[in-house]
Amino acid sequence: MSSISVQAEPILSVRDLKKHFGGKKTWSGAVSKTIRAVDGVTFTIYEGETFGLVGESGCGKTTLGRCIARALDPTGGEVVYAPKEGGAVDLASLKPRDLRPYRQDVQMIFQDPISSLNPRMTLLDIIGEPMVVNGLARGEEVKHRVGDLLERVGLRAEYMVRYPHAFSGGQRQRIGIARALALNPRVIVCDEPVSALDVSVQAQILNLLQDLQAEKNLTYLFIAHDLGVVEYLCDRVAVMYVGQVVELAETSDLFARPLHPYTEALMSAVPPANPRAARAPRLLEGDLANAANLPPGCHFHPRCGYCVERCRTEEPELREYSPGRFVRCHRAGELKLDGVAELAEADL
Ligand SMILES: Nc1ncnc2c1ncn2[C@@H]1O[C@H](COP(=O)(O)OP(=O)(O)O)[C@@H](O)[C@H]1O
Ligand code: SF4
Ligand SMILES: [Mg+2]
């Protein structure tokens, strides 16, 4: 885990970011339902930190990550980026031409290293092409740089003439990391980079990401549904539920004492550190709310064991509960929720 220094500066400030799909007239004249995939997300990421984003599948993590890297155009809101030189810019509203100087600063690593690499391109083309397109290198220089990058991510320089299918899942993710590094980015959106890999390979890739971060002072937005990985890797964590952040805290605070019932429910699904520990199963019941037909009031209320009348009608706001801790729940602070660290200690 990297520790953020007190002087760390904001590098990305996401403000009320929205991405809605649908809501358009179809050929028959009917209007398709609006899917609120990302619905008013606000947080700040500091330079050099690893900021975690967790939540169930379908809650909007990938869409949010892609909007931040401008692989998708947001429907509304801001992504204010502080470049190394010059004033802050809103990446969300820049026209493609004006976006070009900043694009290389924010790169992505994808969940599925197989489908994210073009099978008809050699590693030299996959990693080298962005360098050529962005004018960072030409001719022999591209080969040198690609060779160095391959070695840096734990592969051999001579592999550059091969195609992605020749490699294992872990090696392909190393190629994906080399491609993301090709343009010397400052921020990398890591979208579940180890979810598709064997457990034995996961730790190697996470260690590589940590080493690269320390070496290049990278900032990570680390998307995961595995809370164990997040606890190990992230400085701060945002918990997402149908397009919205419901809790945001420093990792140790979040795991010791969650403030949102959804966070508690996610944690109760984490296997206990002590396998003999008998834990009251409080598994997450019911399905994720439908982003095209959200329940009134608190969007989590149909699944929440702490729901009261007010929760059914009044939507809670994300508020700062204590410095740096944000929560979206009417009953925050009043509930005594279980964290993972507390349970592990109590169960020993
Ligand atoms: N291109 C798209 N068109 C329509 N709906 C989409 C599109 N991409 C994602 N969605 C919907 O947006 C929601 C969030 O998806 P996603 O960001 O992939 O979630 P996650 O990464 O957390 O699993 C889901 O309901 C998904 O079906
Ligand atoms: S606002 Fe109510 S329903 Fe929503 S999480 Fe809090 S207690 Fe549960
Ligand atoms: Mg996803």
What is the three-state SS of 160-187?
HHCCHHHCCHHHHHHHHHHHHHCCCCCE
Q: How far is the CA of 302 from the centre of ligand 2 (A)?
A: 9
The whole-number pLDDT of residue 71 equals 95
Q: How far is the CA of 318 from the centre of ligand 2 (A)?
A: 12
The whole-number pLDDT of residue 67 equals 98
For residue 31, the 8-state DSSP code is B
3 state DSSP class of 229: helix
Q: Which residues pair with 52 in a beta bridge?
A: 222, 237
The whole-number pLDDT of residue 281 equals 45
Which of ligand 1's atoms lies nearest the C-alpha of 38?
Answer: 14
| Residue 295 Cβ < 6 Å to ligand 2 | no
The whole-number pLDDT of residue 341 equals 59
Q: How far is the CA of 260 from the centre of ligand 1 (A)?
A: 23
Q: Determine the residue of 18, 21, 53, 239 to mutate for testing ligand 1's pocket, defined as the one with the most ligand atoms within 8 A of the Cβ atom.
A: 21
Coarse DSSP helix, strand, coil percentages of the chain, rounded to the nearest 5 percent? 35, 20, 45
| Residue 316 Cβ < 6 Å to ligand 2 | yes
The whole-number pLDDT of residue 193 equals 95
Strands (E) located in 113-169: none
| Residue 75 Cβ < 6 Å to ligand 1 | no
Note the ligand closest to the C-alpha atom of 317: 2
The whole-number pLDDT of residue 108 equals 96
- Distance of alpha carbon 27 from alpha carbon 214, whole angstroms: 52
Strand order in the sheet with 89-90: 34-46, 10-22, 76-81, 89-90
pLDDT tens digits along 259-281: 999 999 998 876 555 444 444 44
Neighbours of 33 (CB within 10 A): 13
| Residue 32 Cβ < 6 Å to ligand 1 | no
CB 180 within 8 A of CB 193: no
Listed as ranges, residues in the chain with pLDDT below 70 are 1-7, 270-283, 341-348
- Distance of alpha carbon 177 from alpha carbon 332, whole angstroms: 39
Ion ligand 3 neighbours, Cβ < 5 Å: 62
Whose CA is closest to 69, among 194, 254, 221, 210? 221
CB 326 within 8 A of CB 248: yes
Q: Which amino acid is at 23?
A: G
CB 54 within 8 A of CB 239: yes
Task: Give the β-pairing of 34-46 and 106-109.
Answer: unpaired
The whole-number pLDDT of residue 194 equals 94
3 state DSSP class of 13: strand
| Residue 291 Cβ < 6 Å to ligand 1 | yes
3 state DSSP class of 51: strand
Strand order in the sheet with 187-191: 106-109, 187-191, 219-224, 50-54, 236-241, 244-250, 325-327, 319-322
CA distances from residue 246 to 30, 218, 242, 321, 334 in whole angstroms, order as listed: 33, 26, 9, 12, 16
The whole-number pLDDT of residue 74 equals 97
The whole-number pLDDT of residue 228 equals 87
In order of start, what are the domains of the chain with their CATH numbers?
Answer: 10-28+36-234 (3.40.50.300), 258-347 (no CATH)
The whole-number pLDDT of residue 125 equals 97
Q: Which residues contact 37 (CB under 8 A, 6 or more apart)?
A: 19, 20, 21, 60, 63, 243, 291
CB 107 within 8 A of CB 221: no
Q: Which residues contact 85 (CB under 8 A, 6 or more apart)?
A: none
